[in-house]
Amino acid sequence: MIFNFARKSAPGSTASLFDLEEGRTAILGDFDLPEHLADQLMNLGFVPGLEVKVTRSGPGGDPRIYRVDGTEVALRRELAERMRVSQPPASSGVALECGDRMATPVETRRYAGPEGISALTPKLEEAGD
Amino acid sequence: MGVIANASCHAPKAGVREGVARTVAVVGPPNSGKTTLFNRLTGLRQKVGNFPGVTVEHHLGVVRDEHGREVALVDLPGVYSLNPKSEDERVTIDVLTGRMPSMTQPDAIVLVVDSTNLNRHLVLAARVIALGLPTLVVLNMADELRKQGGHIEPLELARHLGTPVALVSATTGEGIEAVTRFMGADVARPNPLDLPVLQDTRGCREWAAKIGVNASYRKPATPVWTERLDSLFLHKVLGPVIFAAVVVMVFQTIFAVGQPLSEMFQELLDFTGNRVAAWLPSGLLESLIINGLWNGVGSVLVFLPQILLLFLVIGVLEDSGYLARAAVIADRTMARVGLNGKCFIPLLSAYACAVPAIMATRTIENKRDRIATIMIAPFMTCSARLPVYTMFIAAFLPNKALLGPFLGTRAAAMLGLYALGFVVAVVTARVLKSSVLKSKDAPFMMEMPPYRWPTLRSLGLRLVDRGKAFLVRAGTVILAVSVILWVLTNFPMHNGQPPEIQDSLVAKMGHLIEPAIAPLGFDWKIGVGLVSSMAAREVIIATLGTLYGIDAESNDIDLQAALRQDMTPAAALALVVFFAFAMQCMSTIAVVRRETNSWKWPALQFAYMTGLAYAAALVVNQALG
């Protein structure tokens, strides 16, 4: 299992970045956050559609450190809880574990266009949890 | 690899502004090595400036281009984006578009990005290039890119961005001449093949990835040392243990090394002061020079060893990358007070002295958290309070065993005073962070830079920079107040002689405030002590010694006895409580003024701390008296 649903209220709800277990990888979805915060996060590398991995956690599990777009960024639970993630496509598998191959031809396929991105973005039926 | 200019170099530009051929702004995200490049280019020929009305600081340096003409170089704050909602980014936009009143619009931009993390940083490049100023894109950390197996075609990147591109290592100096050449050349405005819609960050990131692919960019492998060190420093058990060890080391350095250094420095200053005094004809001039100016200079300089030491330690922690990890470890604890992990080290330093601690808050990027940290730092029991606490406790509290041989009443009282300052700091932080300094819109997020060896060059420049900033900005205020205090103790004159302290202006001030402080149990002598202790808290002991005609240093016991005659135990307790809370330190006020770039915060802080001190002392004296 990739997602720890035990922490979330109802099974089947969209998983948040905070639900992702340490060492696991997922694809970033949309953020349930004010625009300027979402912008700040995107400037740090959290761009929806990109791969994110939980690398480590601070004492007590908060804040945690995420590897995204070639850098590691520490985020508190309050933010990670409001960022949706989805399971990575099976094809990319372990090969893209660290998200370090940003500019290879594999990446171009990912950046093929907005359709490519939205296909990776989870639906937002449960917005506003 | 040098500049790949897309425009030929024309004749030197004629426009001369205040003797400087042109102005070039250095822009770049945090951790891109922007400041390293700036320092490499300007060395010691730089000065710090503040933009009006904001806490944002910039460095200004003068560099010679390849024709030997002077070029003004402005180092702007590190920014990830150009979003006017963030103070740093708004200042950057204002400077680059010529809307900053105190500064002319730059003629060109040097944009520094980290070549080992190019895609993300190209998003900023899109926004900077869109401004339309001649821009050089510096791909910094070329040495690391190569060493870790990365690759980039600068020519191809330059073609796509429509700007010159230089592959540079600011640390080793490799390729740096390209930057110098750019500063002297007349480069055309950028002419990119295409730019993304700037408001659409996702679109910008896609554009960056496309450009990266076209320039054959291959991202280097993650440095293996960063992974290894992180598994140690952020280990579940070892991480906090190492953190505690580092914290002890920082505290020990400023307390156990800095304190004696400051004292040695003080003795040296006293010695030279006495020597100079022997040369001067005795009289008012001698007194002004020695007791006024020299002591003023002295009270500024004694902070220097502590400030430099603390900045050396913090410099090593920050440049190596450990400070970011320490912040992660401390964050959960600090979050309970409403602050973030980066506030921990400055607050800890405040136990030695609030002055370097407040200067150290500049590592906190979040402005509101930084101001909150500055506001509570002086509540931490600093070393200048210790002599005051020690003497009053010794004078009024008989030492009895509380917990067998482990804890006596005096030690318990001392611990209580430490706890008192800490509790009030925590409460103040909570109040501030849930009201005026609420930062719900800026939760803690922090990039973890890779571990790097700190360079002596950057550490040295930082020490010079901080030392100079303190001496120039804070030092002048401290010196001025020292001279005012000298005037207060030496006037009005009697037959050309300075008065006894009982007849001086400062004594008049003591009498003047006596009605106000009488409810606290303080007489005019304590009032004089309070006024004079503005120079530094411990000065109250020497002042009281003078007032009672007892040499405080050699005759501690007599002074204690004299105080017991004049004060009730309740008043004595009120006095130490007053000292625990009051901002009796002009150096702190001067530094807060300098670091917040306004009188608003120091004024507010002084009023709050003095008001709190007064109220607490009043309650103590009235309840026990």
Q: What is the pLDDT of residues A28-50, one digit of tens each?
A: 998 998 888 888 898 888 998 89
Q: Which chain B residues are within 8 Å of A80, Cβ to Cβ?
A: none
Q: Is A23 left (phi over 0), alpha (psi -120 to 50) or beta?
A: left
Identify the band that residue A90 occupies on the pLDDT scale cut at 50, 70 and 90: low
Q: Is B441 on the interface with A (CB under 8 A)?
A: yes
Identify the band that residue A124 occupies on the pLDDT scale cut at 50, 70 and 90: very low
Q: Is A35 on the interface with B (CB under 8 A)?
A: no
pLDDT of residue A83: 93
Q: Is B237 on the interface with A (CB under 8 A)?
A: no
Chain A segment 80-99 residues within 8 A of B by beta carbon are: 98
Residue spans of the domains in chain A: they are: 5-117
In chain B, the residue whose alpha carbon lies closest to the alpha carbon of A79 is B443
Q: Which chain A residues are within 8 Å of B202, Cβ to Cβ?
A: 42, 47-49, 114, 117
In chain B, the residue whose alpha carbon lies closest to the alpha carbon of A114 is B203
Q: Is A11 on the interface with B (CB under 8 A)?
A: no
Q: Is A59 on the interface with B (CB under 8 A)?
A: yes
A116/B580: higher pLDDT = B580
8 Å CB contact of A75 and B219: no
B304/A92: higher pLDDT = B304
Q: Which of B86, B118, B328 is nearest residue A63 as measured by Cβ atoms?
A: B328
Torsion of CA B365, B339, B584, B587, to 10 degrees: -10
Phi and psi angles of residue A16, each rounded to the nearest 5 degrees, phi first: -100, 165
- How far does B118 lie from chain A, in Å, by closest CA? 9
Q: Is B85 on the interface with A (CB under 8 A)?
A: yes
Asked if residue B321 has pLDDT above 50, the reply is yes
B182/B407: higher pLDDT = B182
Q: Which of A71, A98, A111 is nearest residue B120 as measured by Cβ atoms?
A: A71
8 Å CB contact of B212 and A47: no
pLDDT of residue B8: 36
Q: Which of B80, B212, B222 is nearest residue A100 as measured by Cβ atoms?
A: B222
- Over residues B18-42, mean pLDDT: 87
Q: Which of A43, A63, A103 is nearest residue B209 as measured by Cβ atoms?
A: A103
pLDDT of residue A102: 35
Q: Which chain A residues are within 8 Å of B241, Cβ to Cβ?
A: none
- How far does B440 lie from chain A, in Å, by closest CA? 10
- Over residues A103-116, mean pLDDT: 35
Residue for token pair 């803690």: B444
Q: Is B83 on the interface with A (CB under 8 A)?
A: yes
Q: Which of B83, B86, B205 is nearest residue A47 as measured by Cβ atoms?
A: B205
8 Å CB contact of A48 and B202: yes
Asked if residue B492 has pLDDT above 50, the reply is yes
- Over residues B135-145, mean pLDDT: 94
8 Å CB contact of A43 and B221: no
8 Å CB contact of B119 and A60: no
Fold of the domain spanning A5-117: SH3 type barrels. (2.30.30)
Spatial CB neighbours of B159, under 8 Å, sequence gap ≥ 6: B6, B193
Identify the band that residue B442 occupies on the pLDDT scale cut at 50, 70 and 90: low
Identify the band that residue B31 occupies on the pLDDT scale cut at 50, 70 and 90: confident
- How far does A88 lie from chain B, in Å, by closest CA? 19
Cβ-contact B91, B102 below 8 angstroms: no
Q: Is A129 on the interface with B (CB under 8 A)?
A: no
- How far does B302 lie from chain A, in Å, by closest CA? 38
pLDDT digits (tens, 9 = 90+) for B276-320: 888 877 777 777 877 777 777 777 777 788 778 888 988 899 889
- To test the contact with chain A by mutation, choose from B328, B329, B367 the residue with the greatest count of A C-beta atoms within 10 A, namely B328
Is the N-terminal amide bond of A63 cis, ω within 30° of 0? Answer: yes
pLDDT of residue B457: 86
Q: Is A32 on the interface with B (CB under 8 A)?
A: no
B137/A121: higher pLDDT = B137
Q: Which chain A residues are within 8 Å of B86, Cβ to Cβ?
A: 40
8 Å CB contact of B230 and A55: yes
Identify the band that residue B15 occupies on the pLDDT scale cut at 50, 70 and 90: very low
Q: Is B28 on the interface with A (CB under 8 A)?
A: no
pLDDT of residue B10: 38
Residue B75 pairs in a beta bridge with B26, B59
Q: Which of A44, A63, A70 is nearest residue B219 as measured by Cβ atoms?
A: A70
pLDDT of residue B522: 92
pLDDT of residue A74: 94
Q: Is A22 on the interface with B (CB under 8 A)?
A: no
pLDDT of residue B554: 63
- To test the contact with chain B by mutation, choose from A57, A72, A118 the residue with the greatest count of B C-beta atoms within 10 A, namely A72
pLDDT of residue A111: 36
Residue spans of the domains in chain B: they are: 22-221
Residue B500 pairs in a beta bridge with none
| Pick from B139-148, B228-237, B259-268, B520-529: least confident | B259-268
Complex prediction ipTM? 0.78
- How far does B422 lie from chain A, in Å, by closest CA? 23
Q: Which of A76, A103, A111 is nearest residue B219 as measured by Cβ atoms?
A: A103
B364/A82: higher pLDDT = A82
Q: Which chain A residues are within 8 Å of B327, Cβ to Cβ?
A: 74
Helix, strand, coil: what percent of chain B each, to 5? 60, 10, 30
Q: Is B234 on the interface with A (CB under 8 A)?
A: yes
pLDDT of residue B387: 83
d(CA A46, CA B201): 10
Q: What is the DSSP letter of B341?
A: G
Q: Is A77 on the interface with B (CB under 8 A)?
A: no
- To test the contact with chain A by mutation, choose from B227, B242, B334, B448 the residue with the greatest count of A C-beta atoms within 10 A, namely B448
| Pick from B488-502, B526-540, B555-569: least confident | B488-502
Asked if residue A120 has pLDDT above 50, the reply is no
- Over residues B438-461, mean pLDDT: 83
B135-140 and B165-167: which strand pairing? parallel
Q: Which of the following CATH numbers is that of domain B22-221: 3.40.50.300, 3.40.109.10, 3.40.50.720, 2.60.40.10?
A: 3.40.50.300
How crowded is residue B252: how many other Cβ atoms within 10 Å of its Cβ? 13
Q: What is the DSSP letter of B116?
A: G
Identify the band that residue B600 occupies on the pLDDT scale cut at 50, 70 and 90: very high
8 Å CB contact of B202 and A74: no
Q: Which of A40, A45, A111 is nearest residue B209 as measured by Cβ atoms?
A: A111
Q: Which of B120, B218, B221 is nearest residue A69 as measured by Cβ atoms?
A: B120
Residue for token pair 């007590």: A60
- Over residues B236-264, mean pLDDT: 84
| Pick from A69-78, B69-78, B403-412: least confident | B403-412
Identify the band that residue B257 occupies on the pLDDT scale cut at 50, 70 and 90: confident
How crowded is residue B516: how many other Cβ atoms within 10 Å of its Cβ? 11
* CA nearest neighbour of A3 among A22, A79, A129: A22
* CA nearest neighbour of B197 among B137, B133, B120, B123: B123
Burial annotation B573-612 (CB, 10 A radius, 16+ → b, else e):
bbbbbbbbbbbbbbbbbbbbbbbbbbeebbebbbeebbeb
B4/A107: higher pLDDT = B4
Identify the band that residue B583 occupies on the pLDDT scale cut at 50, 70 and 90: very high
- To test the contact with chain A by mutation, choose from B120, B157, B334 the residue with the greatest count of A C-beta atoms within 10 A, namely B120
Cβ-contact B448, B253 below 8 angstroms: no
d(CA A29, CA A38): 11
